[in-house]
Chains A and B, each alone.
Chain A
Amino acid sequence: MTKGNPLFVDSTKLQTDSIGVNIELTNLFLREGESAFIKVTNEKGQVNRTALKYLEQDNLAQGQLWLFHQQKISYQFYITKGEDVLFTTDLLESRASYILQHQWQPCFKMSSKEKVKKAAISKKPKNKIKTQTKSNESVSKGVERVSSIMAKWGF
Chain B
Amino acid sequence: MSIVSVINHKGGVAKTTTSINVASSWAKMGKRVLVVDLDPQASATHSMFGKEEFKKTVFDVLVNRVPAKEAIVHAEEFNVDLIPSELLLSGCDIQLAAFYGRERILKRALDEIKDEYDVIIIDCSPSLGLLTVNALLASKEIIIPICPEYFSIKGIELILDTIKNIRAGLGHKVKIKGVIITRFRNRKVIGRVLEDVKEAFNIKVFKSYIPDNISVEEAHHNHLPVHKYAPRSKGSIAYRALSKELLNDEG
**By the criterion of a CB under 8 Å from any partner CB, how many residues of chain A are at the interface?**
12
Q: Are A7 and B171 in touch, CB under 8 angstroms?
A: no
Residues of A within 8 A of B133 (CB): 7-8
Q: Are B101 and A12 in touch, CB under 8 angstroms?
A: yes
Residues of B within 8 A of A12 (CB): 100-101
Residues of A within 8 A of B166 (CB): 8
A6 nearest in chain B by CB position:
B97
CA distance A100 to B169 in the complex (A): 10
Query: Helix, strand, loop or mixed for chain B's interface?
Result: helix
CA distance A100 to B168 in the complex (A): 7
Nearest CB in chain B: distance from A55 CB, A: 17
Tell yes or no: B128 within 8 A of A by CB: yes
CA distance A154 to B229 in the complex (A): 67
CA distance A98 to B170 in the complex (A): 7
Q: Are A99 and B171 in touch, CB under 8 angstroms?
A: yes
Q: Are B102 and A8 in touch, CB under 8 angstroms?
A: no
Tell yes or no: A97 within 8 A of B by CB: yes
B→A interface (CB under 8 Å): 99-103, 128-130, 133, 165-171
16 contacts across the A-B interface (CB closer than 8 A): A5-B169, A7-B128, A7-B133, A8-B133, A8-B168, A8-B169, A8-B170, A9-B169, A10-B171, A11-B101, A12-B101, A97-B168, A97-B171, A98-B168, A99-B171, A101-B168
